Chains A and B, each alone.
Chain A
């Protein structure tokens, strides 16, 4: 039931792009994306609702393919502040279930 995230880890230089994928075996109402920095709480980035849509937030955007039960998070022109662990959360009820995370490190 836990969504599968890939890759598990990404190392980037500033300015490079990355894609993080999230896949579920169940039909979904929504997909959430969060970023967590070391020793801190997760912070909400964006939510995608069923109906298939794409959202943007500065240089971070995401897509949701409802039929494939998949979502992708796109980080373009990465900045040092993008470093952290990214979690997707999937919901088909009032339970939000998180993936195991993707660790992203951005170096100068």
Chain B
């Protein structure tokens, strides 16, 4: 049972480049979300999904796109990377809703934009 798998673990991008952070879970969780973590600011919600085909914005969605074509996968796309997007990104999943069950987090992707 792998849980939540994020790839890559580390990435360096140049300003203006685009990329996709991958997130997959094998727990048959309906709910998935993306957070970014910056020093002193805790975890901030980027986008979330309550099921395949349904996504919505979190606290800091600008500059990021998501889609959810399957229950298992929830990729995060950076459209045109900026230095302000340098952060650690965590994907998380939960059984059904975003409020009723605990979250399982992936190990994170450390992204640096130069």
Interface residues of chain A, those whose CB is within 8 Å of chain B, are: 1-2, 29-30, 32, 34, 40-44, 46-47, 49, 87, 89, 91-101
Q: How far is the CA of A40 from the CA of B104 in the complex (A)?
A: 13
Greatest chain A CB density within 10 A among B33, B42, B101 is at B42
Interface size class of B (residues with CB under 8 A): 20 to 34
A-facing residues in B56-110 (Cβ within 8 Å): 56, 58-59, 90, 97-108
Are B100 and A29 in contact, CB atoms less than 8 angstroms apart?
Answer: yes
Please name the residue on chain A nearest to B108 by beta carbon.
A41
Please name the residue on chain A nearest to B107 by beta carbon.
A41
Instruction: For A49, list chain B residues within 8 Å (CB).
Output: 100
A-B contacts counted at CB < 8 A amount to 67
Are B40 and A100 in contact, CB atoms less than 8 angstroms apart?
Answer: yes
Interface residues of chain B, those whose CB is within 8 Å of chain A, are: 31, 33, 35, 40-45, 48, 50, 56, 58-59, 90, 97-108
B contact patch SS: loop
Are A98 and B100 in contact, CB atoms less than 8 angstroms apart?
Answer: no
Q: How far is the CA of A96 from the CA of B31 in the complex (A)?
A: 11
Lowest 9 CB-CB distances: which A-B pairs, in order?
A94-B98, A91-B99, A44-B102, A41-B105, A100-B42, A98-B43, A29-B99, A98-B42, A30-B99
